[in-house]
A and B are shown apart, each in its own frame.
Chain A
Amino acid sequence: MAKRIPLAWLNLIHDRRRFATSLAGVGFAVLLMFMFNGFMNALYDSQLQLLNRFNGEVIIVNRLRTNMFVPRAFARRRLYQARAFDGVQNAYAVYISEVNWKNPDTRKSRVVRVIAINPDEPVLNIPELDTHRQALRLPETALMDTQSRAEVGPIEAGVITELADRHIRLVGTFTMGTDFASGNGNLLMSDQNFLRYFADRGPEEVERSFATVDVGVLKLEPGANVERIVKTLQENLPNDVLVLARDGENGFVIRERKYWQENTNIGFVFSLLTSMGFFVGIILVYQILYTDVADHWAEYATLKAMGYKNIYLLGVVMQEAVILSVLGFIPGVLVSQLLYQAAGNATGLFFQMTAARVINLLLATFVMCLVSGAIAVRKVQTTDPADVF
């Protein structure tokens, strides 16, 4: 029960108001890091929401489709060819196109992305498809993404408006989320309906038919060797298509993420902003620790006169730094969680607070406080006990 007096802790909490302000300061720096880091990850993660729904182990796209934004289709017969290979159970077609959607309230047109599949095939892992399969088979029906931007207007079942200047009726919703290529939202419909809207859209628009496919999804037989099949298909299918595993280091999903990482300034800008949060934190915590040392200068010098070594006082300052980092992190992470939800709802982006990201930022906060502590201890070190007399 007899322990060392927790001087660092007692000094910190002595002035309750100052302690609360200090924690709020650290929490604010944590919040800044979480928000900037969160936006960066959300922008990347959002690009993958559709890709992660593809119900197959292997993906085929046009070789020129370097990312989902590029509207390049490939010949549908490649899917039939692929299906003939050993280990391939089925090959599904996904049709994607952008088109104007008329907000039924404002009558203003907004671009949405239409994703079309055969409703009788398990092409996408979207649970809402099961409930609405029957309705989707009817002509001129679709499901709207609940994460679509507010600009598309009401989206509940029964809404009737125009898509590509033709009549359309919503029969329900599904939840996925927007990305750079999705415009104001995602609309899900059957391939038959897709043909109705896109087969003949006038002279300026590309004509769509079942002859070309945007994304091919290959379902493999259970236990099939994904890597080997991908390799075989790559070698045997004509060069106009690209065959990739969906998951894994060289997979389709990672490729998409890498594309956005390497071809945009998102990473640079948001990393810069995140590190600004980091440095704001260092300055804040340094200020807090420095003030503590300066205010207790005579007391610390007295401890030195009594025979306390420098290392003890360094320990006190570093303990204060650690306490501030841990206790400031908690409000920071809690408020960030709320803001992630709010930002996700406002933007339709996919804000995800994974354990790894929380731990990373906790470590960053920890380092932030240690750096501040390391700068502030110099003040203690130079404290000369002879000066207290």
Chain B
Amino acid sequence: MFKPQQTSQQFAPAREDLAVHIQHLNYFFGAGDLSKQVLFDISLELPKGQIVILTGPSGSGKTTLLTLAGALRSLKDGSLRVLGKELVGLSDRALVGVRRNIGFIFQAHNLFESLTASQNVEMAVELTGNFSSKRDQAGAMLSALGLADRVDYKPQSLSGGQKQRVAIARALVNHPKLILADEPTAALDKKSGRDVVNYLHALSREEGCTVLMVTHDNRILDVADRIINLVDGRLESDSSPNAFIQSKQGDPTDVSADMFIM
């Protein structure tokens, strides 16, 4: 009990307006001689309601940062506040509680083939104990994602984009205040990837939730309020989409403004 108090004194006090507040975060994989640092002194503030895209080269630590913010790994160093809760030093059991307030979207949809679209979404609702309204809640969320006529379909009779939308419905159905997405469009073709992101964008605006999304997909950068670039475990830049594109101009292999189809 003593140690967390001591560490929190070094960090700025909790702020109401921030969904995620990271200060001086270091993260190591492995232990002892084999330990390898993948995140270096990360400090980051994500205000509520913002859509933030996290980019960077492969292996730069994006996924690691996302799993830390999602309370999927325990950590000892620095300060990481998610929705007002300090995660550093939390027990595994307490981390599970934090996760229930976060919506996760993965590269793969990870839906149960044995459950219908609705049932897959209801699995999330059941965590809240709303058994009587779960079917309605799932149906409403699926309709909002344009799947009203696919509610009772099993994943095997849905297209890739539809499956990913079901996965998004599952992540959003409990109205989480924070959504973490790791390359949600990577497995989709251009059109369905765009659809999925548009829905995500619209819903997060409606619900006023914060989105932290990792993507390599330059075509969807326009939905972001802000783009963060992570290189070798360090924050390289933090800018608006336009500034981000400007900064990359002249690099032919990278983004260009005409990729935007707004």
Asked if A7 and B112 make an inter-chain contact with CB atoms under 8 angstroms apart, the answer reads yes
CA distance A301 to B107 in the complex (A): 14
Q: Which of A68-76, A305-313, A354-362 has 4 or more CB atoms under 8 Å from chain B?
A: A305-313
A306 and B100 form a contact (CB under 8 A): yes
Kindly state the separation between the CA atoms of A308 and B128 in the bound complex, as whole angstroms: 11
Q: Which residues from A are CB-within-8-Å of B99?
A: 305-307, 385
CB distance from A323 to the nearest CB of B (A): 13
A3, CB-defined interface residue at 8 Å: yes
- B72-A386 in contact (CB<8A): yes
Cβ contacts under 8 Å, B185 to chain A = none
B60 close to A (CB within 8 Å): no
Contact A3 B112 (CB under 8 A): no
Mask: chain B, 96-113; 1 = CB below 8 Å from A; 0 = not: 110110001011101111
Q: Which residue of A lies closest to B70 (CB)?
A: A305
Q: Is there contact, CB below 8 Å, between A5 and B182?
A: no
| Cβ-closest chain A residue relative to B112 | A299
Write out, one digit per residue, whether chain B residues 73-96 have a CB within 8 A of any chain A CB (1) or not (0). 100000000000000000000001
Interface residues contributed by chain A, number (CB under 8 Å): 26
Given A3-B131, A5-B123, A305-B99, do A389 and B112 touch, yes or no (CB 8 Å)? no
Residue-by-residue, is B103-130 near A (CB-CB < 8 Å gives 1, otherwise 0)?
0101110111111000100111011000
Q: Which of A289-334 contact B (CB under 8 A)?
A: 296, 298-299, 301-309
Interface size on B, residues (CB 8 A): 33
Q: Which residues of A contact B115 (CB under 8 A)?
A: 5, 7, 10
**Residues of chain B from 109 to 158 with CB closer than 8 A to chain A in the complex:** 110-115, 119, 122-124, 126-127, 131-135
Chain B residue contacts of A296, Cβ below 8 A: 112
B196: CB under 8 A from chain A? no
Judged by a CB distance under 8 angstroms, whether A66 is at the interface is no
Pair A14/B114 contact, Cβ less than 8 Å: yes
| Interface: A338 (CB within 8 A) | no
Q: What distance in Å separates the Cβ of B109 from its nearest Cβ neighbour in chain A?
A: 9
Within 8 A of A (CB), among B63-77: 63, 66-67, 70, 72-73
Candidates A7, A14, A386; contact of B123 at CB < 8 Å = A7
Given A5-B119, A5-B122, A305-B99, are A299 and B111 also a contact pair (CB < 8 Å)?
yes
Tell me the B22-67 residues at the A interface (CB within 8 Å): 63, 66-67
- Asked if A17 lies at the interface with its beta carbon under 8 angstroms from chain B, I say no
**B132 neighbours in A (Cβ, 8 Å):** 2
CB pair A4–B113 under 8 Å, yes or no, is no
Contact flags A374-387 to B (C-beta < 8 A → 1, else 0): 00000000001110
Whole-angstrom CA separation of A13 from B113 in the bound complex: 11
Q: Quick one: given A307-B99, A307-B127, are A2 and B110 in contact (CB under 8 Å)?
A: no
| Residues of A with C-beta under 8 A to B131 | 2-4
> B96 to A299, Cβ gap below 8 A?
no
Q: How many Å from the CB of A366 to the closest CB on chain B?
A: 24
User: For residue B122, which residue of chain A has the nearest CB?
Assistant: A5
Interface centre among A2, A13, A298 (most CB of B within 10 A): A2
Report yes or no: A306 in contact with B104, Cβ–Cβ below 8 A: yes
A11 touches B67 (CB 8 A): no
Shortest distance from the beta carbon of A10 to any chain B beta carbon, whole Å: 4
Task: Tell me, in angstroms, the Cα distance from A23 to B227 when the chains sit together.
Answer: 54
Contact of B72 among A2, A7, A303, A385 (CB under 8 A): A385
Q: Are B114 and A389 in contact (CB under 8 A)?
A: no
User: A2: which of B107, B113, B135 is its contact (CB, 8 Å)?
Assistant: B135
In Å, the complex CA distance between A26 and B96 comes to 36
- Which residues 257-308 of A sit at the B interface, judged by CB distance below 8 A? 296, 298-299, 301-308
Pair A303/B114 contact, Cβ less than 8 Å: no
Contacting B100 at CB < 8 Å: which of A302, A307, A385? Answer: A307
A84 adjacent to chain B (CB < 8 Å): no
B104 contacts A305, C-beta separation under 8 Å: yes
Contacts of A3 in B (CB 8 A): 131
Contact in complex: A303, B123 (CB < 8 Å): yes
Question: Which A residues are in CB contact (< 8 Å) with B113?
Answer: 14
Instruction: Tell me if A346 counts as interface (CB < 8 A to partner B).
Output: no
Please determine whether A389 and B182 come into contact, CB atoms closer than 8 angstroms. Answer: yes
Q: Which of B63, B67, B127 contacts A306 (CB 8 A)?
A: B127
List the A side residues contacting B123 at CB < 8 Å. 5, 7, 303, 306
Contacts of A386 in B (CB 8 A): 67, 72-73
Distance to closest chain B CB from A47 (angstroms): 52
Bitwise, B248-260 to A at CB < 8 A (1) or not (0) is: 0000000000000
The 8 closest A-B pairs by CB, nearest first: A14-B114, A307-B100, A386-B72, A302-B110, A2-B131, A10-B114, A307-B99, A386-B67
Q: 13 A-B pairs, CB-CB below 8 angstroms?
A: A4-B126, A5-B126, A7-B112, A10-B112, A10-B119, A302-B106, A304-B96, A306-B100, A306-B127, A309-B96, A384-B72, A388-B106, A388-B110
